[in-house]
Amino acid sequence: MEITVADFIEKVANEAYQTELQLVSATEVQGTKLEKHLYEMVSLFGQLMEEGQLAQVTCRAENAGQVTEYSLESGIINLPFADIKKVDNFFDDLETTVEVKVNLIVKDENLNASKFRIDSLLTVAELLADPSQGLQVISDRALALSQVIQNNLEVAEVTAEV
């Protein structure tokens, strides 16, 4: 899937993209349960990409005020839709046609100092050509970040006890 930089900016700025949100319990974003939700997210994201739409598919868990989000966004660089005003800074010609990428975005206060991580993992064309491989790439990265969150949470709990 390809798009001009200008079209991408216009569509995202005007919120002309599909959004899907799954709300789940905090235990649903850990281990094999997370894998199930990732499968659903990748399947839905792939369907929207086949239709030629830009998309944001999110799985959000809340527990005692703490929010964990895993999102897939179609992007042209590794910036989230929320930072659309910065995208043109990375291109000399806004009429340039570029590949649309699959960005995995993870938000959690225990992830890192910025509480945010974005990874451009593959192109939409690669995802559509081999959905099972795309799911594997996305799952591997999301599960690794889930483990980072869990490890940091455990360290924070131990530190709080001292």
pLDDT in tens, 121-150: 999 999 999 999 999 999 999 999 988 988
Torsional class of 161: left (φ above 0), alpha (ψ -120 to 50), beta (otherwise): alpha
Provide the mean pLDDT of the chain: 92
The rounded distance, in Å, linking the Cα atoms of 63 and 67 is 7
pTM reported for the whole predicted model: 0.91
Ordered by start, the domain boundaries in the chain are 2-161
Instruction: State residue 124's pLDDT score.
Output: 98
**16 pLDDT more than 70:** yes
Confidence of residue 59 (pLDDT cuts 50, 70, 90): very high
Q: Percent of the chain, pLDDT > 90? A: 74
Q: How far is CA 113 from CA 104, 108, 110, 130, 152, in A?
A: 18, 10, 8, 34, 11
Torsional class of 130: left (φ above 0), alpha (ψ -120 to 50), beta (otherwise): beta
**160 pLDDT more than 70:** no
List phi, psi (to 5°) of 10.
-60, -45
Dihedral (Cα; 80, 83, 89, 93), 10-degree rounding: 60
pLDDT in tens, 65-111: 788 899 999 999 999 999 999 999 999 999 999 999 999 999 999 88
